[in-house]
Chains A and B, each alone.
Chain A
């Protein structure tokens, strides 16, 4: 990871703490905390909000760094790779839980506005699906923008679940990720699709939250 990127991440993570204390924190106070000059921050970010958004974008960068350190990553199954991206993000969010709960919906979970995080997330998903050799040929046609969007919406659902998760270290959220990814793998590795299984319908009935569901359907319609 480049030195500049590391600094940007450090600034963004410190900013999440500032934000919890005071939503209108000043760049000066942030610079002081990090023992750098405000100019150094302004060289990297145009404004406060871009710093906070970068917190989200950089989660994907850290996720990518992590995969490169997992020796056997290339042997992971589809389910394990999906688990990995969900859990990596969830692990990271758990470290800044308060901030994430305050800002997630506005910054990345908005159904109308798309974010850089969304783009990076979907790119990572595409890599997971396209690099997988075991996926049944027939299931390959499902790998389109709609699929990545649907999974992205599932991720929002997971965050909502995690928000209300009172179990030890959010272990129920982990269990949900595990079950959901196993189901995905089942769909893509087996020939369920061949039997005319309709993914749209499937997602409709399985979405953890309703707004996800309606978005999934809207997305389907707009793709069609």
Chain B
């Protein structure tokens, strides 16, 4: 296919073609059948896909978070989904200046003008469940104050209940869907507890303070479950950085830091910053990478974590028996792909996507800015086989978010990174695990 010029990606390309074919067919067929009401699920007959999507408008901020959880904003699902779920209308409206003062007063005991030397009542950024203000402490320290919109916690609970019923109309009912929704729900509820986030900020600061990465410091005296104060990190987001026409070297520099940060987390295998979204990284003027937003950090169970890592070498070697075994364990396959056509479609798609995904680990360095690679990844993510039968271990939701988010960030940045060290990290962690067994 002329879409994929022949080159070093030749291998990925062949697989991609099969993958794309399967993917496209599934996705378009599925969405069409939803719209026409010809889907075999009887409840769907009455509602067109649009109507169902339309109901997501009732979810506002929560819809955005759900979309982000399932990496919909990263192009992991067809555009029909992402368009509906990431529209601005789902964002929570800004908190007015009087309410900001009053929330601070209730949560921290005094009005901002008494607590801070300077407090900007105009938010510098809208967060999904609140907003962020810049302020200065009496000792001159610049801080970021994240304020939660009143009543958000209750809203999430009721929104998730609504989302659950909507999802159940879209996909076949089963324990799997409940497991996914519960995973997202628990994560979102945790995210509303800013004390929890403050504690995560502390732990990450401890782990990464001597690194090329900068993370905020928590200020517990000015924090509660709904107000979070931390040191301010100067810097610009990805888009603004790119607008300043940075040179290649500088792009590679920041890209490498992010890549290393990610693999250092794998190496530690403690907790992982699980919200790899451009809004959560800052390019600081002194050449460091600012990492913020510790509302969503994850510790994956050891078993899942190791199996997830094993996907990398097994795909690179196209070790099919090992891949199949992993897929069974991770809930991707339910039956033998050799005898079941539907399973085979899943299998082919996942294996090819997995291979493409593992490519950066193949050589000494990898150029995420290569447009061919972008095209490949985009082809897979956009055409993922959306069936009405969701699959895979629930931990895939956030591991995918982290990993895919990393790739998207690096592709957008256009960075070439040294990947040799990270291959060793993966190998070491896996062989340690073997030795422990």
Q: Quick check: is A47 within 8 A (CB to CB) of the other chain?
A: no
Decide if A72 touches B97 in the complex (CB within 8 Å).
Answer: yes
- CB-CB under 8 A from A88, the residues of chain B are 102
In the complex formed, the residue of A with least CB distance to B224 is: A169
Q: Which residues of A contact B225 (CB under 8 A)?
A: 168
- Tally of contact residues, A, Cβ under 8 A: 29
Q: Mark A43-76, 1 if CB is under 8 A from B, else 0.
A: 0000000000000000000000010011110001
Number of A-B contacts (CB under 8 A): 62
Output the least CB separation between A96 and chain B (Å). Answer: 15
Q: Is the pair A87, B150 in contact by a Cβ cutoff of 8 Å?
A: no
Contact of A171 among B101, B105, B113, B151 (CB under 8 A): B151
Task: Report if A138 contacts B (CB, 8 A).
Answer: no
Using Cβ atoms and an 8 Å threshold, which residues of chain A touch B105? Answer: 91
Is A115 in contact with chain B by the CB < 8 A criterion?
A: no
Residues of A within 8 A of B (CB): 66, 69-72, 76-77, 79-81, 83-84, 87-88, 90-91, 94, 167-172, 174-175, 177-178, 181-182
Q: Does B53 have its Cβ within 8 Å of any Cβ on chain A?
A: no
| B residues near A69, Cβ cutoff 8 Å | 111, 113
Residues of B within 8 A of A (CB): 95-99, 101-103, 105-107, 111, 113, 121, 150-151, 153-154, 225-226
Known A72-B121, A172-B151; contact A87-B99, beta-carbon cutoff 8 A: yes
Q: Can you list 28 A-B contacts (CB < 8 A)?
A: A66-B111, A69-B113, A70-B101, A71-B113, A76-B97, A77-B96, A80-B96, A81-B98, A83-B96, A83-B98, A83-B102, A84-B98, A84-B101, A87-B99, A87-B102, A91-B102, A167-B150, A167-B151, A167-B154, A168-B225, A172-B150, A174-B103, A175-B151, A177-B99, A178-B96, A178-B99, A178-B150, A182-B96
B98→A80 contact, CB < 8 A: yes
Q: How far is B111's CA from A83's CA once the two chains are assembled, in angstroms? A: 15
Shortest C-beta distance, B223 to chain A (Å), equals 15
Q: How far is the CA of A94 from the CA of B107 in the complex (A)?
A: 12
B98 A169 Cβ-Cβ under 8 A: no
CB-CB under 8 A from A174, the residues of chain B are 99, 102-103, 106, 150
